[in-house]
Structure 1
Amino acid sequence: MSRTQPPPRHPPFVPHVQCSMQPEDDSLRLESASLGESAVTADDDGVKRSHKGESCENDEEGHLVYHIGLVMNERYEVVSTLGAGAFGKVVECIDRHRDEHVAVKIVRNIDCFREVAKSEIAVLEEINSLDDDNRFACVRMLDWFEHEGHICIVFELLGLSTFEFLRRNQFLPFSVEQIRHMAFQIFRAICFLHRNKLTHTDLKPENILFVSSEYDDKMVKKCVLSVRKCHFKRKLRSLDVKVVDFGTATFDHEHHESLVSTRHYRAPEVILDLGWNQSCDVWSLGCVLMEFYLDIHSSRKEHLAMMEKVLGPIPVHLLKQTRKQHYVHNEHLNWDRQSSSDNYIRKHCKPLKKYMQRKSEEERQLFDLLSCMLEYDVSRRITLEEALWHPFFSPMRPQKHQRS
């Protein structure tokens, strides 16, 4: 099996790339749910229906036009399409060497996407090397190769993303116990990255996948307008998850793009252009946990106004430091209190702890942890190392590791 020379492993080089994949444009979000199952089917994904002997070609956007049954690298046989995103498409393949199913990300044959793919390979090889016994919940890269000018990355086959599972489950929130189990795995995985001087930069429910999304139907009763109705809720058989999509992951020593993360999970220091570090991942995960608990989903200034409604005013010293001075007026957020957007915010947003539904001790601990993660000032925001010792995670730690 011939492979081109991989990008350098230590330290990996991430080039400064300008291309059309900007995180501000939600239509181009990298939907990494496509590493597992997805709503896209082989009937509506534009897959070329052809005989196995036909050559491959690119469409006008640089995607590989492929067919079911295509064998890539003399090893990976395409059996279905799992999903698509700005980067390209993800297909399920049979690995003929191992006789197992895998997910293959086929990157668009466009220079900027090729460079991002090379960066992701370097990061994934570093992760594989540092975590060779697979202790941390980061997706495993199994192989990579080039096919007809397209970089193809082979991953273990996972299940649905947490976002896609919520969507298919009518956005019924996860229980606090489920959130605890998933969060503990995610925090350990990202803490592992941070210890090794790496920031993920794009943490969101689409980039957290269940290892298996098999479920059982559970009948639940719900009162609607005083009428008691029964419906089915999907109950997962396993809460094991993995973090995916390392295409924009950045090492501490590398150039930090000014704009990172998908809008709803973007830290205030990124929006205010104050510079960022690993702490931006902590903010993003705080938003993710809030979405798991209660599905709440904006121009960037509107996003800041929503933050103020939930978390209180942005500290004056941060507003003074921002390069985005058009966001500031008289040391306050420059926001029109008479606008329709402000009406929406006042109607739908409220202080953080008022979202607490049952006021149980475990929920009080969850919201205390959230308030530590959703801290405007990076110097005061909790680290994931510290978060793992928060009382919320006490049930996850063996008794001998409990702090006195």
Structure 2
Amino acid sequence: MSASFEGIGFGYRPRAAYACDPAMTRGRFYPEPESPTRTPFQRDRDRIIHSTAFRRLKHKTQVFIAHEGDHYRTRLTHSIEVAQIARALARALCVDEDLAEAIALVHDFGHTPFGHTGEDALDAMMKPWGGFDHNAQSLRIVTRIERRYAEFEGLNLSWETLEGLVKHNGPLTDGEGRGLKGPVPDTILHFCGLFDLELDRYASVEAQAAAIADDIAYNTHDIDDGLRAGLLSLDMLEAVSLPGGILTAVRERYPALDAVRTGHELMRRQITAMVEDVIATSRANLDELQPYSPADIHSAGRPVVTFSPAMAAWEKELKTFLYANLYRHPTVMAVRENADRIVRDLFGHYFANPRDMPEGWREGLDRAEERIKARDVADFIAGMTDTYAIKEHRRLFDRTPDLG
């Protein structure tokens, strides 16, 4: 399959038969005239970048609370780094770079303030009404919550971008519709009843590239932030196979290099090693599968963009190390405990007093049934930045936990 935009200003042709072809898109929920100068996937990327949700990522926690330092990653800088890696993978695998980039840029839209702490707190508070899931929240944002266009709610993204957003980590159901990792959130089920994203099938190569780019980015850059925060040290990394082997090579070649630049050299080499491993392994997977269309990727029954078995084992070891020594570090956990209280306090207050929410959010909630009120309160809190959540807590409560 190929696509040609010759004569309408694109000059772009997907090179692989299994690439998502923008000329063959399955369309948008609300039909729109196509752009004469941009492919559908380029328009998706542009809409994502210009959205309010994208800007809010600037002040949302990755690992460290945003105000702890100017150089730590936020959800925004992380998303940009993921997009860069996703584009590199897409280019090497001869698929649509714009689609891979769009999925990478939108994948964290549904994250709450204070990272996974905020998500866990909202999920606990929302348990009576279906819980909270950041992936489902991302879908709510791009199909409902964003209000920028005169003719529709949301961003009206193409089917391929929405599919990649919902399924970038793999299918959500089996062939009988049963959830593979527990119940599928109602938001996703409801939307798929209107615009079927084929939850039992694998997503595109572009979506799979974005997903593994996410792993590469945070496995590497969380080390960088951990070193900067003083919670990790280069000596600690010596015992972990992937960074340890790279660190040994860097020290052998540059024995007089200072610790900061040694860390940077480690980061760039680790990204390169992981990216090159994915490219080589994925090419081998594709050669074995011999897909002739995106449909062959959807029905493959397994992912095709993967680490090699050796790299997968090293990556799992690194994740285990980071959970034990960074994400669960006492300093991080103390901040998480206080952040958890802020989110729970805000939810409880707004649920009981919806009139304290801003105009545009509070209308009618004092008369709404509990399920609707709870979901709207969760939508409001999930959209908050760290700084706004702290500000609101200070406005509503006498004492706000210290996150500094």
Same fold by TM-score greater than 0.5: no
Give the structure-1-normalised TM-score. Answer: 0.25
Greater strand share, 1 or 2?
1
More contact order relative to length (CA 8 Å, sep ≥ 6): 2
Give the structure-2-normalised TM-score. Answer: 0.25
